[in-house]
Amino acid sequence: MSTLVFIALALVLAAGVLHGWIVRRGWVRLAMASATLRVVRGGQDGDGVIALAGARALLRQRVPSEADAGLVEARLARQRSPRGAGLAAHGLLLAARGDREGARVLLASVATLAPAVCPAAALRLSREWLIGDAAERGDWAALAAMATSMATSMSSEDVSARAALLLLLGQRLTGAEGAPDDATLARAQRRAYGLRRTPAALVVLLTRARLVEPGSAPASVSGDLPEPAAAPVPADDLVGEATHRHVTLLACKGAAPRLVGDAVRRAGRAWDVAREDGRLEATLESRGAQLGALPGAGSSAARTLVEQIAADIAEIAASGLDIEVPGELGPTARRGLHLLRERTLSEVEQAARALHRRAEARRPLAPLDEWREWLALERAYLGAMARVGGGAAGDEVRRVLWPEVASAGSSLACWLWNDRSLRAFAQAIFASLARQATLVHDERLAAIHAKNAALSPM
């Protein structure tokens, strides 16, 4: 008996000591086994913790093995009610399979779960993966935003020294307010690497970062408007100038919101000038007549052109828009943004109604898919504000969409809590609804959802 106890103790001790090394070697089966011993020692969210260790080891493999991924997946499938560790494991599994966007969504959502259902290690791993991913993509603005959030809601122990260095780097590279000075960056570098050599590429970025004055510019600014590869337009060619501005706008797809806002304003203004007093319509009508078109063909082409311009403005602005002075927008830009607003409202309303109907009809999805569907709606709702340019327009969209989103979210969360035992997810939905209700000054729902969110999910 004492021998068995000794062996058990030795195994647990070895698991503790060797676990990190096993994970780094990419040995999925062993990582899961050593995590099992750690769970036996008194951990919570057992299957999630074991799967998380496996997923982490899987990510260390040069080419992730599908057989090993299957092991992690099988462990995750045993979870009836996923919690933080399981969610993080799902996220890392997606990352190992190359679905970075999916991983980003799931791992970002880990932080929205209540601490009671989310082991600190799962939260830390999620944050660190998101930090590393943003650094690899060069999304320094996202890192700066994470650093700001960390300053208010996290302690420095919540991420490793290397991750903390990347957060500070993001702040400094974007010139954000409160960005670290040179001495703070140097201290963070020493903490992260000590006597080890700092990787050269990181040294390059640190050197660049020191060229940016802290607080020198808003994070949203990220360069100049792109120029079309075209010959200059004669000064008196108003349609040519408008086309030039429009092509510039088209080249801005996915650019920083402030840049897109600037391009929308300029293109809209150029079209306004070209269309002044019906000039453009008259030109097209006369050109149509020269080409042998039927009477009215030019006017019809002009209407199509106006629709195309509005559709382009709406499409490019949909990736995110920041208009410095909304009052400066002319009729063409406003028409495009109105189209975007209508599309945005329609998309979010349809998604909310579909979720509401499904929840009311009690048509279940797999636990993780329930969570994904909520995340998609929440993201669309929050993104709708940015899509229409934020500010007063964003607030108005928030108020218009809130009743639909609140109904869908409430139905889903109550169903998940009462009938599905998916309390970790339900509680996070209640907490999100409480925050959003507060923002639209819906005190009644804010109080109800805050009360629900305070219930113990255990």
Q: Given the structure tokens 């999100």, which residue do they identify?
A: 432
Show contacts with another protein in window 134-173 (CB under 8 A): 135-140, 160, 162-163, 166, 173
Is the CB of 24 or the CB of 41 nearer to another protein?
Answer: 24
- Integer-rounded Cα Rg, in Å, for the chain is 27
Is the CB of 5 or the CB of 235 nearer to another protein?
Answer: 235
Tell which one of 174, 332, 344, 432 touches another protein (CB under 8 A). 174
Give residues with Cβ within 8 angstroms of 339, minimum separation 6. Answer: 310, 311, 313, 314
Site string for another protein, 344-383 (x = CB under 8 A): ----------------------------------------
Q: How far is the CB of 270 from another protein (least distance, A)?
A: 12
Show contacts with another protein in window 389-428 (CB under 8 A): none
Is the CB of 285 or the CB of 349 nearer to another protein?
Answer: 285
Confirm or reject binding of residue 229 to another protein (CB under 8 A): yes
Confirm or reject binding of residue 301 to another protein (CB under 8 A): yes
- Residue from 57, 63, 7 nearest 32 by CA: 57
- Residue from 315, 420, 318, 340 nearest 374 by CA: 420
Whether 175 contacts 140, CB under 8 Å: no
Show contacts with another protein in window 93-132 (CB under 8 A): 95, 128-129, 131-132
Confirm or reject binding of residue 252 to another protein (CB under 8 A): yes
Confirm or reject binding of residue 35 to another protein (CB under 8 A): no
Confirm or reject binding of residue 79 to another protein (CB under 8 A): no
Phi-psi map region of 392: left, alpha, beta (phi>0 left; psi -120 to 50 alpha): alpha
Whether 17 contacts 26, CB under 8 Å: no
- What gap in Å lies between CA 340 and CA 334, rounded to an integer? 10
Q: How far is the CB of 126 from another protein (least distance, A)?
A: 11
Tell which one of 70, 178, 199, 331 touches another protein (CB under 8 A). 199
Is the CB of 5 or the CB of 201 nearer to another protein?
Answer: 201
Confirm or reject binding of residue 213 to another protein (CB under 8 A): yes
Is the CB of 178 or the CB of 391 nearer to another protein?
Answer: 178
- What gap in Å lies between CA 156 and CA 159, rounded to an integer? 6
Instruction: Kindly indicate which of the ranges 71-79, 204-212, 322-330, 433-441 contains the residues binding another protein, using the contact rule CB under 8 A.
Output: 204-212
Whether 229 contacts 203, CB under 8 Å: no
Q: How far is the CB of 448 from another protein (least distance, A)?
A: 39
Q: How far is the CB of 160 from another protein (least distance, A)?
A: 7
Residue 33 CB neighbours (<10 A): 17
Residues 296, 331, 242: CA angle, nearest 5 degrees? 70
- Residue from 438, 450, 428, 439 nearest 106 by CA: 428
- What gap in Å lies between CA 3 and CA 26, rounded to an integer? 31
